[in-house]
Every structure is written in structure tokens, then in C-alpha cells.
Amino acid sequence: MKYTVLLFLFLSQTAFSQQYKSRPITGLLGAFGAEVELVKQTLKNPKTVVVDGVTFTTGRLGKQKVVVAETGIGKVNAAMTTALLLDHFRPERVLFTGIAGGTNPELQPGDIVIAGRTAHHDYGSITDKNTPTRQTRNVITKQFNPVYFPADTSLMRLAEKVVKDIPLEGIPLASGGVSDRPVKVVTGTVVTGDVFVASPIKVSSLRADFGADATEMEGAAIAQVCYQINVPHLIIRSLSDRADAEAHIAFDKFYPTAARNSAKLVIAIVQAL
Ligand code: ADE
């Protein structure tokens, strides 16, 4: 009996230290299935864990231990999933992979924006004088947050380096082939709001007010949670559309390619850590 208790204590200690040793872990998020599909397919030894109803998949990418989840669409879902991820898995860093609407006229579907910074484009007060108050407040310190949440510099530099060596896909052409135009990659500004933008007027204002290169629905929410809890983050987006009047049509045609291009870059970043 005494030996059984000792053996149990020994085994549970070992299990504890294994679990402890198995950290650090990198959190990888995407908003919906297509955005995380390639990441999940590339995982070695995938295992699912459900936390408060949200499914997380742990596994390895190269030597790195990772945990992958779909945040759901929009800022509230993104913030909730990020908070659960940080609380439950304590990742060393968080990377987001996904698609966006392009607001930089130089960029086309399939191109990549490495978000050097993100901002909420729909936060503030509405007045008839159009005077924006854009800064959120940090729930922990009660201080104003910056308008732009900066990405972690080393993750950003790593992304800029590894993107040169990965084969990115051209977008499908109406003729049935694939575009041979080289995929453009910029480090820039990604803006976030709880809206799908399909308006050239809105694109002009996002460009004029924020210097936006792309617009989407989760990035700044994830960045804000990471900023407030002091966890390095990087948001990667590939464009599915140009946020213009044809955005819905372009989205349907190009999102699979864009989702894969973004995921390829995020996988390469993790493998180079
Ligand atoms: N994600 C992909 N395209 C988008 C758009 N045009 N607006 C907001 N989020 C998007």
C-alpha cells in the first residue's frame, strides 16, 4: 500500500514536470476554419482541448509547441478567445493568421500585410464635427492605450525575413489558371472594426485617417488583449478583396488562396523561432 502511494506520488510529479517542461507554447489564432486549416493540417501530434466551449488544438510545428484556435468573427469573439488562450495556456507569444480587405491601392488579393501596428477603426465618440477620440483605456492600468498597438518587433522582423523564402500562391484567374504576378508583401497598418467594408468611400477614410493598408475584424482586439497582458503578438493578413464595391465577389473567389498565403507565412515564422 505504502509503495503504491509512493509510486502514485512519483508518477504524478513526473507528469507535472513533463507538463511544466513542455512549455513554452505559441498561440496561433485565425477567425474561421479556412484561416487555420493549413496550420492544423501541418500540426504533428494534434490533440484537442475544450476550454469554456472553445476548442483549442495543441501540437507541434517543427520543434515548437503550438496551440491553435478559431476565434470566431468580430472583435468580441476575438477578445474572448484570446483571453481564454492566454489564461489557460500562458503562451509566450500570439500570432494571428487570416484574410483582410486591402485599402492600399498598390495591393491586390493574395498580397500580404505584416501588421507592424493595428488600430480599432470603429472606436471613439461620434460628433457632428467628426472629431475622433480613438484611444481605448487599459482595463488593468486605467491608462489610455495607444491608438496603434505595435507588433512585437522581433516577430515582425522574423516575418519579413522568412517571407522571402516561402512559395506564395498567385490568385486564380478567370481563364482557369493562376496569376504569375509575384505576391507583394508589405509591413504596414491593419485596422479593425466590427464591419465588413465594401465601400470605396470608407476605404479612402481608413487610408486618410489611419494610413491603413488593410481592414479586418479581429486584429486590434487581439493586439489590445495581448498589449494589456504583456504578451508579444503579430498579426498577419493576406488580402481576399479590396474592400470596394466588388468586395463580396472578390472575397468568395480569393479567400482560400489568401488564407493559405497567410497561413504559410505564420507556419514559416513559427518554424524559424
Ligand atoms: N476580411 C476580408 N475582407 C474584409 C473586408 N472587406 N472588410 C472587413 N473584413 C474583411
Residue 122 pLDDT = 94
State mean pLDDT over 177-187: 95
Pocket test for ligand 1, best of 213, 240, 257 (most atoms within 8 A of CB): 240
**Cβ partners under 8 Å of residue 106, min gap 6:** 184, 186
Whether pLDDT at 16 is above 50: no
List, in sequence order, every residue forming a beta bridge with 234; answer none if it has no partner.
95
State mean pLDDT over 30-50: 97
Say what percent of the chain tops pLDDT 90: 86
Query: 79 exposed, middle or buried (CB, 10 Å; 0-12, 13-18, 19+)?
Result: middle
Question: Could you tell me if the CB of 243 is within 6 A of ligand 1?
Answer: yes
Local confidence band at 125 (pLDDT 50, 70, 90 cut-offs) = confident
Instruction: List the chain domain ranges.
Output: 22-272
Residue nearest to atom 1 of ligand 1 (CA): 100
Say what percent of the chain tops pLDDT 70: 90
Residue 130 pLDDT = 66
Q: DSSP string covering 166-227, please?
A: S-PPPPBPTTSSB--SPPPEEEEEEEE-SS----HHHHHHHHHHH--SEEESSHHHHHHHHH
Whether pLDDT at 107 is above 50: yes
State mean pLDDT over 174-186: 93
- The pLDDT tens digits of the residues spanning 190-245 come to 999 999 999 999 999 999 999 999 999 999 999 999 999 999 999 999 999 999 99
More confident residue, 14 or 105: 105
- Grid coordinates in use for 242? 479590396
Question: Could you tell me if the CB of 197 is within 6 A of ligand 1?
Answer: yes
- Rounded to the nearest angstrom, the distance between the alpha carbon of 243 and the centre of ligand 1 is 6
- Rounded to the nearest angstrom, the distance between the alpha carbon of 252 and the centre of ligand 1 is 11
Which residues are designated catalytic? 35, 241
Residue nearest to atom 4 of ligand 1 (CA): 101
Residue 21 pLDDT = 45
Which CATH number is 22-272's, of 1.20.1090.10, 3.40.50.1580, 3.90.1150.10, 1.10.520.10?
A: 3.40.50.1580
Residue 127 pLDDT = 82
Residue 23 pLDDT = 57
CA distance 215 to 35: 16
